[in-house]
């Protein structure tokens, strides 16, 4: 019942929330760029660029992993079929439970 009243955010809100830090960083760079020494600008620029790439890396890895092992890929279909096949296999853990229930007279 609670799903009926859940509030979803519009796509433009999420997009603007993601682009706002980039725009603020670009504005700060333009304003403060001439105030810093050339060597300091390069070091900070390289450092911030490396941080940006590191921040995007989980999204890239997740996207590639989704393409390789996703439900529409060959590997994803094989994995799903294997899970369906393995669902009928009973492991040894269930035998212990059944034995205890038989000892208690419940089975």
Same structural domain, 77 and 48? no
E strand segments, the chain = none
Containing structural domain, residue 76? 70-107
Same structural domain, 18 and 62? yes
- pLDDT at site 9: 63
Same structural domain, 61 and 84? no
Same structural domain, 92 and 64? no
Same structural domain, 29 and 58? yes
* Interval 61-78 mean pLDDT: 82
List pLDDT tens digits, range 31-65.
777 787 878 778 877 877 787 778 778 878 888 88
Dihedral, CA of residue 70, residue 73, residue 77 and residue 79, to nearest 10: -60
> What per-residue string of b and e applies to 67-79 under the rule 16 or more CB within 10 Å gives b?
eeeeeeeeeeeee
Task: Report the number of distinct structural domains present in the chain.
Answer: 2
Within 8 A by CB and 6+ apart from 52, the residues are: none
Measured CA distances, 59 to 7, 16, 53, 62 (Å) = 25, 18, 10, 5
Q: How many Å apart are CA 54 and CA 4, to the nearest integer?
A: 38
Same structural domain, 64 and 49? yes
* Interval 1-20 mean pLDDT: 64
């Amino acid at each position: 019942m609670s799903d009926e009243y859940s509030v979803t955010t519009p796509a433009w809100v999420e997009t603007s929330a993601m682009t706002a830090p980039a725009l603020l960083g670009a504005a700060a760079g333009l304003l403060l760029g001439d105030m810093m020494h050339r060597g300091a600008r390069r070091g900070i620029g390289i450092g911030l660029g490396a941080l940006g790439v590191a921040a995007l890396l989980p999204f890239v890895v997740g996207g590639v992993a989704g393409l390789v092992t996703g439900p529409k890929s060959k590997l994803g279909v094989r994995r799903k079929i294997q899970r369906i096949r393995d669902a009928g296999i009973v492991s040894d853990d269930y035998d212990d439970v059944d034995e205890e229930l038989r000892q208690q007279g419940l089975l």
